[in-house]
A and B are shown apart, each in its own frame.
Chain A
């Protein structure tokens, strides 16, 4: 099959609401065909060529668009790019034809040992140039526009010369990638590092945002843990409403990875997201009408 560079772009249904695909829910999803616009696969769980996981991915893809969410590209890591890993992703992507492929703005390995955690980067010019170049190379190999997610953080570096939104936006502009804006991660980082979440989202050019993630955190008292094991919290819904007021067509994913509830709970969260989208459309229509009548 010849590679067609235009074949893959960040192309989720718009406006669309999706949920993360998790193995305990798959039987129910295949049997009931729920009313959802897309599913997001945790790519690394489906890379093994044998077993249920791959078969499930194919089955879901028959009925729904999917996005492939990765955790192992180590976009900011100082190890060489792992082309063996990327080749596996590309093979799966050739089979599934996902709407988009995403990973995180972080590092996950050092000297070929893996953290299996999303480790934070310093916000420096050196890191911007380094990470942007890596993203360009990865996009060139995968023949797709990568969608890069902001991670939650529990620290900031003394040597950082920029704030996070400047770092994220500059990398997106330099590498022509898109942004996966995780609003829960912004809120968690706000709490842990005294940053202003509203200022953050105000300064993200929404035309660069291909997808939004919504998830729940765990309150540890002195800090919030990005555990993806609770419902989306009220302050995060408020941030989401604010984004929707400016662009209600950005595809949105409900992410729940741990302490999985029944699938119906995820669908309820998806319905809430839809309601926020609809309410933003109505509010924007009112504003437009008011402005029209004043003119």
Chain B
């Protein structure tokens, strides 16, 4: 292995480890105002700060609720366990909601904050919606030319900027209450699950509260359920809204942006 590779290997391991590595510091020239270890520590600190700042940028509400100091403890722990695998820092921390769920379960001081991971999922969906690709125009002309056989294989596509969420907590209200321009107000804990749809409209993600039928319909679409199969379940009594209204409504809103035919 080349000297360059060996240097980078040793340096990298020192950046990513919990404890500073004095062996790595020996790679650097001694002397001057700082010791070799202090010089390494500058890089350790700036790298960790870049990652924890990226997490704070995505999970603003979680940081606000947990406080800057405590959030930094959690996000530093996340940084050591989860290196960035993407060049794009905006994509860092996609497993943070899951990490936060485990953290909240294992730390008694967060007993009353079990909603945090759902809130983090909402913030992640908001971020992903913002950066999602533009949708192509819906090709209604070719849809109209499908034959009966093709109709059996028809699946709809949701907008690339659309994400659906289900939570036992009033996470939308919690999110709203923690926006900069919002004033804190009492949030009613609810027994009813909350169904949300986040989609980018006019370049900005918007959070819509939706009902269970819409959530279940879009969930089926996301899971590649053909329209024919959806029509089968939609005739059941549990659905209050006529199914024949839901799909056209989703198309009109541009929440459905296209279709494809499933393979035989």
One of A107, A113, A159, A222 near B3 (C-beta < 8 A): A159
Interface size class of B (residues with CB under 8 A): 35 or more
State the CA gap A130–B100 with chains docked (Å). 42
**Given the interface contacts A115-B15, A116-B47, does A50 sit within 8 Å of B131 by beta carbon?**
yes
User: What is the CA–CA distance of A55 and B131 in the complex, to the nearest angstrom?
Assistant: 12
Interface membership of B138, Cβ < 8 A? no
Q: Does A117 contact B (CB under 8 A)?
A: yes
User: What would 5 A/B residue contacts be, using CB atoms closer than 8 Å?
Assistant: A50-B134, A114-B86, A119-B11, A194-B31, A225-B42
A127: contacting residue among B4, B34, B38, CB under 8 A: B4
A126 near B2 with CB under 8 A, answer yes
The answer on a CB contact under 8 Å between A158 and B8 is no
Evaluate whether A115 and B87 lie within 8 angstroms (CB atoms) in the complex, with A77-B8, A158-B29, A223-B34 already known.
Answer: no
* A154 is an interface residue with CB less than 8 A from chain B: yes
Chain A proximity mask over B28-39: 1 for CB below 8 Å, otherwise 0: 110111101011
Residues of B within 8 A of A115 (CB): 12, 15, 47, 50, 84
> A residues near B, CB below 8 A?
44-45, 47-52, 55, 72, 76-78, 82, 85, 107, 109-117, 119, 121-122, 124, 126-127, 130, 154-160, 192-194, 222-223, 225
Query: Which listed residue (B8, B15, B29) contacts A155, Cβ 8 A?
Result: B29
A116 close to B50 (CB less than 8 A):
yes
B88 to chain A, nearest CB (A): 6
The 9 A-B residue pairs with the shortest CB-CB distance in the complex, in nearest-first order? A155-B39, A110-B12, A113-B83, A48-B131, A72-B87, A114-B84, A155-B28, A154-B42, A116-B50
**Residues on B facing A (Cβ under 8 Å):** 2-5, 7-9, 11-12, 15-16, 26-29, 31-34, 36, 38-40, 42-43, 46-47, 50-51, 54, 83-90, 92, 130-134, 160-161, 200, 203
Contact pick for A119, options B33, B43, B85, B92, CB 8 Å: B43
Cα–Cα distance between A52 and B9 once the two chains are bound (Å) = 38
Instruction: Give, as a whole number of angstroms, the nearest-CB distance from B64 to chain A.
Output: 20
Selected from A55, A111, A113, the residue in CB contact (under 8 A) with B203 is A55
Inter-subunit contact A157/B7 (CB<8 Å): yes
Tell me how far the C-beta of A73 lies from the nearest C-beta in chain B, rounded to whole angstroms: 9
Complex: A47 Cα to B88 Cα, angstroms: 8
CB–CB B87/A44 < 8 A: yes
A156 and B51 CA atoms in complex are apart in Å by: 25
B180 CB → nearest A CB, Å: 14
Q: Nearest-CB distance from B172 to chain A (Å)?
A: 22
**How close is B191's CB to chain A, nearest CB, in angstroms?**
36
Is A222 in contact with B34, judged by CB distance below 8 angstroms? yes
B12 contacts across to A, CB distance below 8 A = 110-111, 113, 115
Known contacts: A51-B130, A78-B4, A122-B7. The answer to whether A192 contacts B86 by CB under 8 A is no
